[in-house]
Amino acid sequence: MRITGVDVYKSNIPLTEPFRIATMEVTSAESVFIRVNTDEGLYGLGEANPSRVVTGETQAMNLAAAPDLARMLVGRDPLDVETRLGELDGFLARNSALKSAFDMALYDVLGKASGLPLYAFFGGGNRSFWTDITISLADPGGMALKAVELKRRGFRAMKVKLGTSRDEDRARIAEIRRAIGDDVPIRIDANQGWSRQTAVAVLGSLEPMGIEYCEQPVPHWDHEGMRLVRRLTSIPIMADESLLDHHDAFTLAWRACCDYFNIKLSKSGGLHTALKINAIAEGAGIPCMMGCRIETRLGLSAAAHLVSARPNIQFADLDGHFMLAEDPIVGGATYDVGEIRLPETPGHGADIDPSFLERCERVTVT
């Protein structure tokens, strides 16, 4: 089997409402879709949703670099994923969101060629699981109203964005907890927004409020700060922006910086490295969560296969598509409120509506 060409699509999907975290505000999902075509009629699809503040990428950067990476694949064997991804890494450093799209597409071809859904290809079973649902940063009253609505819809866990000041963030959680009661787990995410001192103060004030864990309380580079915060609070700490690849995973585990890892395909460069991160986590006794950006169900489907295949991934934050004004994906993972189920179709099982692709700008490399 040989790769005959690669299609690169520019996709802009508006959000139903602005999404705000401590470091930025987003109003649309600016993604890049990759389609890898082969001489046997099989094709694979992947999605990149870059983040300028996490991976240092923008959609424009991805679109500029994608043809160069595509040219490296044409004429090559798509089933030799290890070699193909090594070639891409050797040509272009970092750019993990873009590489995740190529990784996803190659694994999609590999799954289709083997006749296996990716969870089975990875040696796992098909298990349904629940995602949490994210509440964007806003005033305490508005966030509490949103939490009540999401609880009414049937979501089982809330992920609440924080990362401003001690008093504001404590007020947000206090309002939400009063509004939804004590029976719904609350997970919080500071997105690097606190200093060490603020993190310790905020988490100390939130300890009585039933917080399941806190993501990335301090800047990504401050490993010692994360270790210190972890030691001074009873709330478990999860690494997110500080965890991009397996090298980061080793360092975080060795330095005892956190209780959990948040794996995202857009940060790791795709499934290939995500598997390595989880293996290191298992060896260190660190449970994982599979997270996401504001992706369509294509990217979320690929991530969901990894959750299904690896029991060490105990939490899921795969809710990005709920924010989109349009769902252009056919097949793939399905959602019953927040319960995710995977199809039995080979590969990741997700495709893109041809009518949607016709509206997207496209570059083809042959």
Q: Which residues are catalytic?
A: 161, 189, 215, 240, 264
Sole residue written with tokens 């690169």: 8
Q: Dump the DSSP string for 148-193.
A: HHHHHHT-S-EEEE--S-HHHHHHHHHHHHHHH-SSS-EEEE-TT-
Answer whether 223's CB lies under 8 Å from 231's CB.
Answer: no
Nearest CA-CA partner of 356 in 270, 298, 294: 298
At 329, which helix (H) or strand (E)?
A: strand 329-331
Identify whether the C-beta of residue 99 lies closer than 8 Å to the C-beta of residue 85.
yes
Tokens of residue 203, six digits: 């988490």
Helix runs in the chain, H state only: 59-73, 81-91, 96-114, 118-121, 140-153, 166-180, 196-206, 223-231, 246-254, 265-268, 271-284, 297-309, 354-358
Amino acid at site 11: S
